[in-house]
Amino acid sequence: MSTRAVYTFTDNRNVFHVYKHHDGYPMEAARSILAALPLAWPLPRFEPDEFAAAFVAANKSQPGGVRLCPSGTFAEIAPLDVEYHYIVRQHFHTLRVFAYALEGKNRAEHLIFDGTPEQFAAWAKEQQAA
C-alpha cells in the first residue's frame, strides 16, 4: 500500500503544494527533499515555487506519482488518505523541514520533526532502525 504525503513549499508570501502518491514515510521524504537540492537555487536564495519545481523534477518517475495541488490551505487541498505533511521553508539562511504525521478521523497534524534536511534524513534513518 502506498504512503501518501503532501509537501508544502512556502515563504512569507507564497505557498505551493505537491502531492506524492507513494513513499511518503519520513525516510523516503528526506531522500526526496535532498534529491531536489541540486536542482534548486543554492541558499541563501529560496523561492518556494522554484523549489517545488525542483522537487517535482527530482521525484517524478511515472504518471500520477507526483503532481501539483490546487491553491489553498493544506486542509482544503489534501486528499483524505494523506498520512504525512512536510513543510519546507527557509529560516534565516537555513532550509528547514517541518514533518507532521496526520492522526485520527479529523486528520490532526502532529509535529514529528523540525530541522534541516540533513538532520531530517539522519532522524528518519534512526526512526526506521528503531
Domain that holds residue 41: 4-129
Number of domains the chain contains: 1
The DSSP call for residue 39 is: G
**Cβ–Cβ under 8 Å, residues 117 and 33:** yes
For residue range 70-99, what is the model confidence (pLDDT) as tens digits?
888 888 888 888 999 999 999 988 999 999
Q: How many CB atoms lie within 10 A of CB 81?
A: 12
93 burial type by CB count under 10 A (0-12 exposed, 13-18 middle, 19+ buried): exposed
Q: What is the mean pLDDT of the chain?
A: 93
Each residue of 53-64: pLDDT tens digit? 999 999 998 888
What is the 8-class DSSP label of residue 54?
H
CB-based burial label for 73 (10 Å; 0-12, 13-18, 19+)? exposed
